[in-house]
Structure 1
């Protein structure tokens, strides 16, 4: 290995590097010898939101790529206050990056900006890809549309990719409450169990990001989702088998009314479970990306090896 490799590697800028996905990306970029700069709200970040474009521009100047994952968690009750925070935390950070990139003399070659697979309609009849997928309605979709519009209208010629990400699976994160339900014996279907659950393993999030960085012919929306679509019933069955612990053989279902009540208790929205998300990775597959974890069983087996026994921590919204 060239001893100067680390010095030769360009910088990757991650906004929102302290989150579940951002932490994983940062760790893997560093593992692979890249330099990483961060934009956030902590004193340890290389640039901070709210300090004007100059600070952002100084970090972005000469970087290879910027990956924006900034945004308030959607795992909360949608009150007027939290809804406003969810929208502003996405659109305002995206707008700020656009202004800063427009001021760069040597901007990054690509801007990968988070979006969400929730932008598509509740679909049980067919998969939704980037070309033929139909956008839905409601608050979550409105936020996603505004988010992507801010990216598209940003005054910079940098190549833009909107990452329509599905549920990212790894040790921790969104899988923890599902594992807890299974371990408590509530590992049956949620709602009618027929809604589609689309997911992507964290290593494939990193792999897809690296793939898209190297594909200058790809821009616009890209669905970050594994090839295999499963129903909620299939998801819960597989979670029980892999990480269900003592609840492996018990599968009490949770009807929609119970989910609505439980969501109020833990301050989140039942839509996160009940909406059918049949998101298909058309662009990734057509551009030649090869998934490390194309099958849910393999992803869950990998996660199980790093998941402790007992109930797992779940932040309340």
Structure 2
């Protein structure tokens, strides 16, 4: 399969490129700088510029663009960047696919479990509606931006949870734990949807090349885990203590909105459609995912 990837230099994008290559697929990428060779196409997503030949070449497209959520503080300007970096890039790809004489058969578009907001006590399959809050609004519009491509291409929205990897969203927790400050986040009882980096990449390849699914697909591990179970698993794997608690009020005081949107929500997200489609997780428990993230499995 000829696969065009946007966001290929990021944590997930890099793992995806390796997985695609290992699976025998040809990969080309979209880059904002000048292209260096025939495997790259320069684009300017904010300006709606994407070479038509890039989309015409591809059998499948994966888009993973977006300003990092871990950058603090979320000023008014950075909130706008979080939004535009996702919606503008997605809209640019959607319009290019809609205009193509030979559109790709499938487009796996990045999304996030932020769609669901804070939903304590609910089981969140893909049938659940959107929640409330800044990220829920961003993700709702992010997914809606693919609409121009819907009539001509199978579009999949991958609602991704916390990706367990050496770096990325796990990095601050890793650093604190290595320094002996492993902590329970908030009350520790909130469900954190998680997935190993390897399973994230494998799931995207599955949805590209081995599936007929369209619409939202939850990318979260099959065994639920609370935030306390995630941080304890990290401490055990690193052989460090897990003694402290960071109360919700302190997180809100220090971090503001990002704490409310990313660390404290309770989201029991179930990968119902992915499992129903026959996908087998390589790391079905959070302990296995943490071990894999730290290179110990």
Q: So what's the TM-score if we normalise by structure 1?
A: 0.85
Residue 11 of structure 2 is aligned to residue 20 of structure 1: yes
Instruction: Give the CA deviation at 1:48.
Output: 1.4
Aligned to 2:82: 86
Question: Which of 98, 104, 107 is 2:100 aligned to?
Answer: 104
C-alpha distance in 2, partners of 1:35/1:164?
25
Contact 2:91 2:145 (8 Å CA) reproduced: yes
Question: Which of 113, 121, 127 is 1:117 aligned to?
Answer: 113
Instruction: Give the CA deviation at 1:52.
Output: 7.0
Greater share of residues in strand: 2
Q: Label 1:253 to 1:17 Cα distance change in 2 as closer, same or farther (>3 A).
A: same
Number of aligned residue pairs: 292
Residue 264 of structure 2 is aligned to residue 260 of structure 1: no
Contact 1:121 1:134 (8 Å CA) reproduced: no
Aligned to 2:66: 71
Instruction: Give the CA deviation at 1:228.
Output: 1.0
Alignment of 1:288-299 (within 5 A): 288-299=278-289
Instruction: Give the CA deviation at 1:87.
Output: 1.1
Instruction: Give the CA deviation at 1:306.
Output: 6.3
Q: Gapped runs of 5+ residues in structure 1?
A: 1-9, 308-317
SS at match of 2:136: helix
Question: Which of 182, 199, 205 is 1:187 aligned to?
Answer: 182
Alignment of 1:192-211 (within 5 A): 192-211=187-206
Alignment of 1:193-232 (within 5 A): 193-215=188-210, 217-232=212-227
SS at match of 2:269: coil
SS at match of 1:252: strand
Alignment of 1:145-184 (within 5 A): 145-154=140-149, 156-184=151-179
Instruction: Give the CA deviation at 1:192.
Output: 0.9
Instruction: Give the CA deviation at 1:47.
Output: 2.6
Aligned to 1:276: 266
Q: Gapped runs of 5+ residues in structure 2?
A: none
Contact 2:177 2:241 (8 Å CA) reproduced: no
Contact 1:188 1:251 (8 Å CA) reproduced: yes
Contact 2:125 2:270 (8 Å CA) reproduced: yes
Residue 28 of structure 2 is aligned to residue 37 of structure 1: yes
Instruction: Give the CA deviation at 1:217.
Output: 3.0
Instruction: Give the CA deviation at 1:224.
Output: 0.5
Structure showing greater radius of gyration is 1
Aligned to 2:292: 302
